[in-house]
Amino acid sequence: MFVATSLSTSCIDDKSNSEVKLITADEMQSILDLEDVQLVDVRTPEEYAEVRIANSQNIDFTSPTFEEDITKLDKEKPVILYCQGGVRSAKCAKKLEEAGFEKIYDLEGGISKWKHSKKIKIEEES
């Protein structure tokens, strides 16, 4: 009886139905292929200009207008977040969760982990 009870309780004491899922580049590509997804780079505009994942949009997590900027996203559409190494995107994921977004994915390790991989399409400043 104790085991069944402990398995049914969630580690997340979250009042919303959202959940942040850490994903690999393979998983991200599958999600992009299958779903209508909002791909968001949360780094600074300067970092974004240098190198970014193709078809992403830039919403700077450190910007004073960040809270306002995320209101332009659709809460009902899945969101994939990434940054340089995973720290900012994890913080941003929490903010989106608190704002009521339904499906939030966070690219594990950020763009630095995957930019030399053939798994995702990268655009670089020439």
pLDDT by residue (tens digit) across 51-110? 999 999 999 999 999 999 999 999 999 999 999 999 999 999 999 999 999 999 999 999
What's the pLDDT tens digit per position in 9-40?
Answer: 333 344 456 689 999 999 999 999 888 999 99
Q: Indicate whether 116 belongs to any domain.
A: yes
Q: Indicate whether 60 belongs to any domain.
A: yes
The whole domain housing 64 covers 17-124
Q: Show Cβ contacts of residue 18 under 8 Å, excluding neighbours closer than 6 positions.
A: 96, 97, 100, 101, 102, 103, 104
Integer CA distances (angstroms), 24 to 47, 64, 111, 123, in order: 21, 30, 11, 19
For residue 69, the model assigns a pLDDT of 95
Q: Indicate whether 85 belongs to any domain.
A: yes
Q: By C-alpha distance, which of 91, 99, 82 is closest to 31?
A: 82
Q: Indicate whether 114 belongs to any domain.
A: yes
More confident residue, 8 or 82: 82
For residue 119, the model assigns a pLDDT of 79
For residue 80, the model assigns a pLDDT of 97
Q: Indicate whether 7 belongs to any domain.
A: no
* pLDDT bracket for residue 4 (50, 70, 90): very low
Segment among 46-50, 55-59, 75-79, 120-124 with least mean pLDDT = 120-124
What CATH number does the domain containing 79 carry? Answer: 3.40.250.10
Q: Indicate whether 10 belongs to any domain.
A: no
Q: Indicate whether 8 belongs to any domain.
A: no
The residues assigned a catalytic role are 83
Domains in the chain, number: 1
Q: How many CB atoms lie within 10 A of CB 31?
A: 17
Integer CA distances (angstroms), 60 to 33, 83, 94, 96, 98, in order: 25, 9, 15, 14, 18
Q: Indicate whether 65 belongs to any domain.
A: yes
* pLDDT bracket for residue 6 (50, 70, 90): very low
Could you tell me the pTM of the whole model?
Answer: 0.83
